[in-house]
Amino acid sequence: MAAVREGGGLRLCITIERPAMKLIALFFVAALGALSCESSAQSVQNSQPDRTVIPLAEPKFEGKIGKTYKDSEAAWPKLPVPPEGAPNVLVIMLDDVGFGQTGAFGGPIPTPTLDKLAANGLRYTRFHTTAICGPSRAALITGRNHHNAGSGFLAEWATGFPSYNNMIPKTTASVAATLKGNGYATSWFGKNHNTPDWESSVAGPFDRWPTGMGFEYFYGFIGGETHQYYPVLFENTRAVEPKTSPEEGYHLVTDMTDRAINYIKYSKSVAPQKPFFMYFAPGAAHAPHHAPKEWSHKFMGQFDQGWEKVREETYARQLKTGVIPPDTKLTPRPDWVPAWDSLSADQKKLYLRLFENFAGYLAFTDHECGRLIDAVNQLPDADNTMIIFIVGDNGASSEGGPDGTLNEVKALNGFPTPLADNLKHLDDIGGPDGEPHYPVGWAWSGNAPFQWVKQVASHLGGTRNPMIVTWPARIKDKGGIRTQFTHLIDVVPTILEAAHLPAPKTVDGVEQKPLDGVSFLSTFDSPDAKPVRQRQYFEVFSNRAIYDNGWIACAQHTFPWRQDYAPGNWDQDKWELYHLDEDFSEANDLAAKMPEKLVAMIALFDEEAEKNHVYPLDDRGTGRIYIPKPSPGGSDPKRTNFTYYSGAVRLAETAAANTKNRSHTIEADITMPENGGEGVLVAIGGSSGGYSLYVQDGKLVYHFNWFDETRTVITSSEPVPAGKSTVRFDFAYDGKSGELGKGGIGTLFIKGKKVGEARIEKTVPGRFGIDTFGVGMDTGSPVSNSYKPPFSFTGTIEEVRVELN
């Protein structure tokens, strides 16, 4: 054996003279090789940044500094770059779409974009959400269970418990923070139900806005829903208005798609080597169901067979295409869904039109998503782009109630609309003058083959959603189906593994909670990949379930269409037991046959609930909306006097003075121009409900809109004079403390003189809706039907004062 120096290293030469020495020699060479490889790997590892700490450490200066530039060497700092081969990532999440609604999963609504995507990728048929909007989205972007991310229920229903305050903690940083810190371009378009709306004003704080959570660009809306023709829009943290009107063809889904396409193209033209992470979240198909007429009318007459038959047809297609196992049973119609044949002709007429409109809305959204995907596919690195398309953040929604509604906000406040009144407005469904939602029966039908609907986290109708994944550079089983049990919390670990990145231990100096999810990247390669998730709990609104190794135990507690229904008595809930490995649709309840198994599963739920901070359970519906939310900027929550100045617009309802259910005064110091003036002084809400104080035809007007059903208009008996004036509206509330939605007397004053009075019979008790508060204009959809928005005031507003009595 001899060592020969070669190229700065040593080459080992071994001459074996005896065969018996071969084994020893081979072992010796292997050991040296292992040491060499280990040393090489260690060298590479040492040269890489520590990616478990975000932001990455500042790079060391690699040049040389002398006395002057002449004896110095400059070197630019190296920016963070992802590991070699890290893919672009596009995550698309639809809203309120059931397992059996899209054509790609057997549903009655054609979705050619999803069909094409599924043909080139994988369909996941046992993927799960939390059963409700905001919590699902918190789980998606953080990789933690929704309670661990402070999002046990919706922001509008937030309470002061850590798991339910909807203030995502810094210990659960978003996937965007990790990717941005590692050199990705990050963006968010569309729905943001994870920034508390009381923090959505210019007062901030902004650390729970997308741009504070790692997304470098945001264009969309804050809250559970928005008007698709008159959206409440933000670009980054600044309120913006659409550039065109509904009459000119404006629709938010088209707008955000155009913006997203432009963002990708611009980003890739400037830095083609830089991968992007885009979260694209249309408000569709959440109510209000706003479908362009050409799309809505496409489906007229296509569902006349009724919801049972549509569900049966969906089930047959699901069996044929293999998205459900061949032995799957179609669960029967429950007693809370009436038989289609039992409905009157008028009921069928309304219910069909509402669902035809929804079908148009969903098909239109599929088309717009297709435009975005086509743009991605035209990129030079399209093959190295992973698209994760999640078809709904929960099951189909029953929040339209038994009859459906043309004013969803009114329904959520607990006020149904008579059928006859709705029938008067059939032609308006889908347009800018209504906020429609279909009835319960279509939600049940749309979740075929499962039981229950959105919000009911205890059953698969609430939590089982389709998912499609494509990645041409990695996924070769085009058109494949994957049946591994997966959950929203598994998306973040999968993205990180695909990008060769670890989950960070600290982000911005804050130690991170461990990810609750696990990567399902292994399933890309084989339908027979080992299960990635053995256990998962579910809880929303006290509807509970626990999955464990193919079994699920579940307890349904509340009704999504009954916000006034809080049964309490959680110990009296009826628990059910299903063996999901043999019973895909939860059709065979085994609780009575296997009581010991059920008891063990319930104990597992309690264990997981404690571990994931689910308690305390809270089944209050509308009552939680009335709970005061934190005041903007940490101001006194008992504050009763507010002063606003001109330009204070797009202020969230929860961040503005809450005049509901109490006496109050609204006073404004204004200057009217000599040649007359007009416009809004102050307004809150929109076409679904709200109030507006304005000047029109020279007169002072107060307009109270009770859910677009009852409008009280008080007009001054004399004009507002030119020059400076103080104008005032007083409201004397009939109700006592704690009494909601009562009426009262409204009175107008100009310079202290009473100039008008009228009785307002009833007032909005909970929320005016999805629009906002503003001084000097009525942004979004108009409160009053006597003007076109924004109807800006042409005079001068010094200040507006609101006093709560």
Give me the pLDDT at residue 47, please. Answer: 63
Give the pLDDT of residue 111.
98
Among 488, 512, 528, give the residue marking a domain's end: 488
Looking at the fold, whether 691 and 784 belong to one and the same domain comes out as yes
- What is the domain range of residue 695? 640-804
Pair (143, 15) in one structural domain: no
Q: Note the pLDDT tens digit of each residue in 86-134.
A: 999 999 999 999 999 999 999 999 999 999 999 999 999 999 999 999 9
Whether residues 121 and 219 share a domain: the answer is yes
339-377 in b/e burial notation, b at 16+ Cβ within 10 A? Answer: ebeebeeebeebbbbbbbbbbbbbbbbbbbbbebbebbe
- How far apart are alpha carbons 110 and 721 in whole angstroms? 59
The confidence score (pLDDT) of residue 416 equals 85
From 469, 488, 507, the end of a domain falls on 488
Q: Are residues 34 and 115 in the same domain?
A: no
786 shares its domain with 728: yes
Would you say residue 329 lies in a domain? no
Whether residues 675 and 767 share a domain: the answer is yes
Answer whether residue 608 is part of any domain.
no
The domain that holds 118 is classified in CATH as 3.40.720.10
CB-based contacts of 113: which residues, under 8 Å, 6+ apart? 366, 367, 369, 370, 373
Tell me the H-state helices in 514-621: 595-611
3-state secondary structure 251-298: CHHHHHHHHHHHHHHHHHHHCCCCCEEEEEECCCCCCCCCCCHHHHHH
Residue 47, token pair as written in the block: 């040269």
Please indicate, yes or no, whether residues 165 and 239 belong to a single structural domain of this protein: yes
Per DSSP bridges, beta strands 543-548 and 535-540 are: antiparallel
Sign of CA dihedral 524, 527, 529, 532: positive
Residue 335 forms part of a structural domain: no
Give me Rg for the CA atoms of the chain. 30
Cβ atoms of residues 164 and 183 within 8 Å:
no
Q: Does some domain include residue 174?
A: yes
Residue 606 belongs to a domain: no
For residue 728, the domain's CATH number is: 2.60.120.200
Examine the domain organization and report whether 31 and 165 are in the same domain.
no
C-alpha span between 98 and 122 (Å, rounded) = 18
Report pLDDT for 28: 40
Q: Which residues are within 8 A (CB) of 120 and not within 5 positions of it... i.e. 6 or more apart?
A: 470, 472, 478, 479
Contact between residue 762 and residue 635 where contact means Cβ atoms under 8 Å apart: no
Count other C-beta atoms under 10 Å from residue 775's C-beta: 20
In sequence order, what DSSP letters do the residues of 376-445 get, joined into one string?
Answer: HHTSTTGGGEEEEEE--SSS---TT-TT-BSBHHHHHTT----HHHHHTTGGGTTSTT-B-B--HHHHHH
- The reply to whether 103 and 42 lie within a common domain is no
Cα–Cα distance between 197 and 608 in angstroms, integer? 30
Cis peptide before 789 (omega within 30 of 0): no
Q: Are residues 153 and 232 in the same domain?
A: yes
Does residue 562 lie in a domain region?
no
379 and 273 in a single domain? The answer is: yes
Residues 161 and 18 in one domain: no
Any residues with CB less than 8 A from the CB of 244 and at least 6 apart, and which? 250
Nearest CA to 626 out of 504, 737, 462, 518 is that of: 737
Domain assignment of residue 439, yes or no: yes
Tokens of 512: 């991170």
Is residue 177 situated within a structural domain? yes
* CB-CB contact of 531 with 485 (8 Å): yes
Residue found by looking up tokens 């000599």 in the block: 674
Q: What Å distances lie between residue 158 and 274, 562, 718, CA to CA?
A: 38, 18, 45
Specify whether the CB–CB gap between 437 and 352 falls below 8 A. no
Among 426, 407, 257, 441, smallest CA distance to 357 is for: 426
What's the structural domain count of the chain?
3
Give every residue of the chain whose pLDDT is below 70, as ranges: 1-47, 634-635
**Distance of alpha carbon 453 from alpha carbon 64, whole angstroms:** 66
- Tokens (6 digits) for 64: 């040389």
Q: pTM of the full predicted structure? A: 0.92
Cβ partners under 8 Å of residue 761, min gap 6: 710, 712, 743
Element (H, E) at 728: strand 723-733
Phi, psi for residue 350 in degrees, rounded to 5: -70, -45
Degrees, nearest 5: CA angle 5-10-15: 95
Domain endpoint, select from 461, 488, 515: 488
Around Cβ 190, how many Cβ atoms within 10 Å?
26
CA atoms of 395 and 28, how far apart (whole Å): 62
pLDDT of residue 635: 66
- Segments of 57-115 assigned E as strands: 88-93
